[in-house]
Chains A and B, each alone.
Chain A
């Protein structure tokens, strides 16, 4: 091979690798810029008031208590309702109906719902719940969030159950356990790390979701725990406050953003730890 040709190849290689390195650098720089802004602007706005006072009228100081409570309530109920449904459906897909035509359709649908625009799901809940009830409510917000939880839990449950070796199932059945006992007491227990990971990821996902709440749960200026009326939530309050010109409101928006990000990142890390521990124990 001619020396020139070899040189060209070497240069190509160097350029190629340099580009890959810069791509990674860009990503890391972007991440650090965003996290840095969050920390700088959000931390400065954090205080005890944020957790003890409700959202203030413009031009005054206050906190995010009603938004935090509203978010916790809606997310809690959404996870509480969505997780069992998701686990049951995932169990069907992995255990009972593995090759049933319904499963093929359900898997495809689940994957679509997983990545579907959450605002369209919000429209669905608006028509189904808000219009029927004739007003916005926390329940509508919950319903929208539940629709987001279910596909995530279904997917991770099915994947985790599929990883459980058939030998365990056969062993359970061979000692005379009926199918449902085998599933509940053996297979589920073997897959619990994976399923828990899925639940944590679902919580992380809905914690930051704004779009579906914008016209289901709306917002509430004061402290309220009435799920039958519009209720505040962190993402929607951040949306409203960030688009305003009031400095106090903008500071609270950053504080809220920091809170959400910290919770979501912690949940992701926790999910990762539990997930890997589950794998290691096999």
Chain B
């Protein structure tokens, strides 16, 4: 009698343990990388009911690329597209997922959001440590009528391998020869000055905490955390406020379908157009053509298919620009090269 009871208990116990393990194992799609895309990805994931949930680590594009190369996640997410050479070398394929804008945020009590304008020269000077005070002549010239305090500028940049940094430094390299020569464009550069913070989250947190700080973040972070944003001067010389219409204007020139053969590689910074936001970027999802776990890959692709069609309103609510339909069609066509996609 006691034997059977113990046996029964053991079996139930093992079953519970197996179930608990199984629940955690079989179902989650794992992804890692860009913090640029994290706000919209988590919103999509929270509203997705057609499959398993997405376990996404927002660790920066560099980390995402590292983890997909190490095969520790189902997909990586990066705001810097991989080169064709890299894609072929590792057997990877990538496709854009969303377009978004990078804004310059600051913390100056007394100077409300949207009242300050900066241009490429002042941005380059500030982030190189050459312009050190808020009431510097270069900044006041752009902002007549704005009372700028005589306060030191505390620069905040990314400390991790960041696609957001890539987009930002790419922009500065495009528009400022001095920046291109001294600093360059990459996911991680030798920042001449400033504090390093982890992720878009860290930069936003630091700017919010530090009086006199300036930094660059994806627009959703500025909105969600009520940070003051600057206006920027774009390619055509117009002064613009950030928002989904200006990001969409910058993205409207992009020929996604045409870039299908080159890993959808696209530059969206410094786009011509009166309403085009100067620092616009996109995030690419990176998958293996021959994945280790085809079922997880198929589930992930199903998720993105849903996001492309049903997630547009969610994206717009966070001021991301959803991809146009012809781009989506081209992307879904490219999934044919992913083994097991069955789409």
Q: Does residue A146 face the partner (Cβ distance < 8 Å to B)?
A: no
Interface centre among A59, A222, A224, A244 (most CB of B within 10 A): A244
* Number of A-B pairs, beta carbon distance below 8 Å: 62
> Would A58 and B204 count as touching, CB distance under 8 A?
no
Q: Does residue B249 face the partner (Cβ distance < 8 Å to A)?
A: no
Interface residue tally for chain A (C-beta within 8 Å): 22
* Distance from B60 Cβ to chain A, minimum over Cβ atoms (Å): 12
Within 8 A of A (CB), among B21-80: 21, 23-25, 28, 38-39, 42-43, 45-46, 53, 55-57, 70-72
Distance of A246 Cα from B39 Cα, bound (Å): 11
From B194-202, B232-240, B331-339, give the one contacting chain A: B194-202
> Would B72 and A135 count as touching, CB distance under 8 A?
yes
Q: Does residue A101 face the partner (Cβ distance < 8 Å to B)?
A: no
Give the chain B neighbours of A58 by CB distance below 8 A: 38-39, 42, 201, 224
Q: Does residue B253 face the partner (Cβ distance < 8 Å to A)?
A: no
Distance of A219 Cα from B56 Cα, bound (Å): 10
> Would A245 and B20 count as touching, CB distance under 8 A?
no
Task: Name the contact of B224 in the complex, choosing from A134, A222, A246 (C-beta under 8 A).
Answer: A246
Give the chain A neighbours of B273 by CB distance below 8 A: none
> Would A245 and B25 count as touching, CB distance under 8 A?
no
Distance of A220 Cα from B30 Cα, bound (Å): 10
> Would A136 and B72 count as touching, CB distance under 8 A?
yes
> Would B28 and A222 count as touching, CB distance under 8 A?
yes
Q: Does residue A57 face the partner (Cβ distance < 8 Å to B)?
A: yes
Q: Does residue B208 face the partner (Cβ distance < 8 Å to A)?
A: yes
> Would B28 and A245 count as touching, CB distance under 8 A?
no
Distance of A245 Cα from B210 Cα, bound (Å): 12
Within 8 A of A (CB), among B279-323: none
| Per-residue interface assignment for chain B, residues 80 to 106, with 1 indicating a CB less than 8 Å from any chain A CB and 0 otherwise | 000000000000000000000000000
Distance of A228 Cα from B72 Cα, bound (Å): 13
Give the chain B neighbours of A218 by CB distance below 8 A: 57
> Would B221 and A221 count as touching, CB distance under 8 A?
no
Q: Does residue A226 face the partner (Cβ distance < 8 Å to B)?
A: yes
Q: Does residue B225 face the partner (Cβ distance < 8 Å to A)?
A: yes
Interface centre among B20, B24, B57 (most CB of A within 10 A): B24
> Would A243 and B224 count as touching, CB distance under 8 A?
no
Q: Does residue B205 face the partner (Cβ distance < 8 Å to A)?
A: yes
| Per-residue interface assignment for chain B, residues 210 to 240, with 1 indicating a CB less than 8 Å from any chain A CB and 0 otherwise | 0000000000010011000000000000000
> Would A244 and B205 count as touching, CB distance under 8 A?
yes
Give the chain B neighbours of A246 by CB distance below 8 A: 201, 224-225
Distance of A205 Cα from B71 Cα, bound (Å): 34
Give the chain A neighbours of B23 by CB distance below 8 A: 224
Distance of A220 Cα from B224 Cα, bound (Å): 23
> Would B202 and A226 count as touching, CB distance under 8 A?
no
Distance of A223 Cα from B28 Cα, bound (Å): 11
> Would A220 and B202 count as touching, CB distance under 8 A?
no
> Would A222 and B46 count as touching, CB distance under 8 A?
no
Give the chain B neighbours of A60 by CB distance below 8 A: 46
Task: Name the contact of A225 in the complex, choosing from B21, B45, B72 (C-beta under 8 A).
Answer: B21
Give the chain A neighbours of B225 by CB distance below 8 A: 245-246
> Would A220 and B205 count as touching, CB distance under 8 A?
no
Give the chain B neighbours of A261 by CB distance below 8 A: none
> Would B20 and A59 count as touching, CB distance under 8 A?
no
Q: Can you show 15 pairs from A to B with CB atoms below 8 A apart?
A: A57-B45, A58-B39, A58-B42, A58-B224, A59-B39, A134-B71, A221-B56, A221-B57, A228-B25, A243-B198, A244-B201, A245-B201, A245-B205, A246-B201, A246-B224
